[in-house]
Amino acid sequence: MGAQRNWEQFALLLIDVQEDFWPEKLKQSFPNFPANVERLLTLCRSEGLEVIHLRASFKPDMSDWMLRYRLFGHIPCIEGTPGIETLPFATAKPEETVFIKHTFDGFHNPDLLPYLHGKGKRFLLTAGLITSVCVFLTTASAAQLGFLVAIAEDCCADEPRAHKHTLDRYQFIFDQTTTTAIYEDHTKWLTALKKLDGV
């Protein structure tokens, strides 16, 4: 792994790794997803790259549901149901920050952006469930809010065609990386940050 890398300006947003977003079809299509997420978390924690967990949560009375879901009459990750539980391979450490969200895009939680700014974060890695929905929309918001971003593609899952389409179609918004490429990509990302600083 070489010399210790400086990850001070980086953070991982691990998005919605919860029971309701991990049905049997996804388990069959992305059998390596749990091990990859575990590997990513181990890497981040050992390198000192801050891990931030975003989790969906909705009240049974529909009071915090997006309007379209009120019309549907159902929504994932309702408080008090098994579906809201974090998958065991993505459990937060006590010292890691967790943000609750009631929308697809994690930045609709008004506390997330000030938190990242307060910590001096400028480059965000994103991963989790579902690639074409909450991962993509949160990543796209991050890019529009002034962050450089990269999706850890082997730590995301979705219906396979939607997963591939999202990663292929929106490369003008984000970089892509994998658990095995992050170390190598770090140098490129630091160079990009320095370029933005005029260094």
Q: What is the pLDDT of residue 1?
A: 43
User: What's the pLDDT score for residue 3?
Assistant: 62
Tell me how far the alpha carbon of residue 50 is from its chain's centroid: 12
Inter-CA distances, 180 with 62, 70, 119, 151, Å: 41, 41, 26, 13
Q: What's the confidence (pLDDT) of residue 4?
A: 75
Q: pTM higher than 0.85 for the full model?
A: yes
DSSP codes, 109-178: STTHHHHHHHTT--EEEEEEE-IIIIIHHHHHHHHHTT-EEEEEEEEEE-SHHHHHHHHHHTTTT-EEE-
Closest among 192, 125, 127, 130 to 154, alpha carbons compared: 127
- Those residues of the chain that have pLDDT short of 50 are 1
Q: What DSSP assignment string belongs to 49-86? A: -EEEEEEE-B-TTSTTS-HHHHHHT--SSBTTSGGGSB
Q: What pLDDT score was predicted for residue 106?
A: 98
User: What are the chain's domains?
Assistant: 10-196 (3.40.50.850)
Mapped onto helix, strand or coil, the DSSP state of residue 96 is: coil
Q: What is the DSSP letter of 28?
A: H
Q: What CA–CA distances, in Å, run from 65 to 73, 121, 169?
A: 10, 30, 29
Angle at 197 between CA 195 and CA 199, to 5 degrees: 60
